[in-house]
């Protein structure tokens, strides 16, 4: 099933660039998708006319594009101040870009075979920055909006949108 939203020229262009990168060779795919996203993060009209409301209880995903073959999906995440993802790793490749605001990306490891992750570092990701990674149960992280303003980020996952719950995050 294909999901179609009204699109600005900029959003159509970004989705076309993501499509080319998301269907390229697996080696380096997350990096190429991040580059495709980054090229469009400074377009102030990217989401013009598209409703992406926030949610008071947690960050929320808005589907922007689902690949008809189910190879990937593109979502906009809306983060109110203080909202954060769970600590998780990915079961599929992923790439993200910060469109508005600042997100912190905390990194974790599992020392000595523990089942409780321990934070090892944090990077602030401001407007225009990207991050990406392969499917890797050891690449554990958490995204959070610790600022006082709403943030928006674009995420691309190598999974069908209706399978995000099963195929994207391994939550700790």
Q: How far apart are CA 59 and CA 39, in angstroms?
A: 24
Q: Is 26 exposed, middle or buried (0-12, 13-18, 19+ CB in 10 A)?
A: exposed
Assess contact for 130 and 162: CB atoms under 8 A: no
Both tokens assigned to 93: 């490749």
Residue 90 assigned ligand-binding role: yes
Helix (H, G, I), strand (E, B) or coil at 169: strand
Is 141 annotated as belonging to a binding site? yes
Residue 125, class by beta-carbon neighbours within 10 Å (0-12 exposed, 13-18 middle, 19+ buried)?
Answer: buried
Question: Is 62 annotated to bind ligand?
Answer: no
Q: How confident is the model at residue 156 (pLDDT cuts 50, 70, 90)?
A: very high
pLDDT, tens digit (0-9, with 9 covering 90-100), for 91-143: 999 999 999 999 999 999 998 877 889 999 999 999 999 999 999 999 999 99
Structure tokens at 24: 């390229």
Residue reference for tokens 């099933």 = 1
The reported pTM is: 0.93
Sorted by sequence, the CB contacts under 8 Å of residue 114 that are 6+ apart come out as none
Q: Let me know if domain 9-163 sits in CATH 3.10.50.40.
A: no
């Amino acid at each position: 099933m294909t999901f179609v939203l009204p699109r600005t020229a900029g959003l159509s262009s970004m989705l076309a660039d993501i499509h080319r990168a998301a269907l390229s060779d697996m080696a380096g795919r997350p990096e190429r998708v991040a580059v495709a996203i980054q090229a469009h993060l400074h377009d102030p009209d990217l989401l013009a006319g598209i409703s992406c409301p926030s949610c008071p209880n947690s960050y929320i995903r808005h589907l922007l594009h689902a690949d008809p073959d189910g190879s990937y999906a593109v979502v906009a995440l809306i983060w109110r101040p203080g909202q954060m993802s769970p600590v998780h790793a990915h079961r599929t490749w992923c790439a993200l870009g910060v469109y508005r605001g600042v997100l912190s990306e905390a990194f974790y490891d599992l020392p000595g075979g523990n089942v409780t992750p321990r934070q090892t570092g944090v990077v602030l990701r401001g407007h225009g920055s990207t991050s990406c990674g392969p499917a890797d149960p050891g690449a554990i992280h958490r995204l959070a909006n610790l600022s006082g303003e709403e943030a928006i980020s674009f995420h691309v996952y190598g999974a069908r949108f209706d399978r995000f719950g099963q195929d994207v995050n391994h939550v700790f």
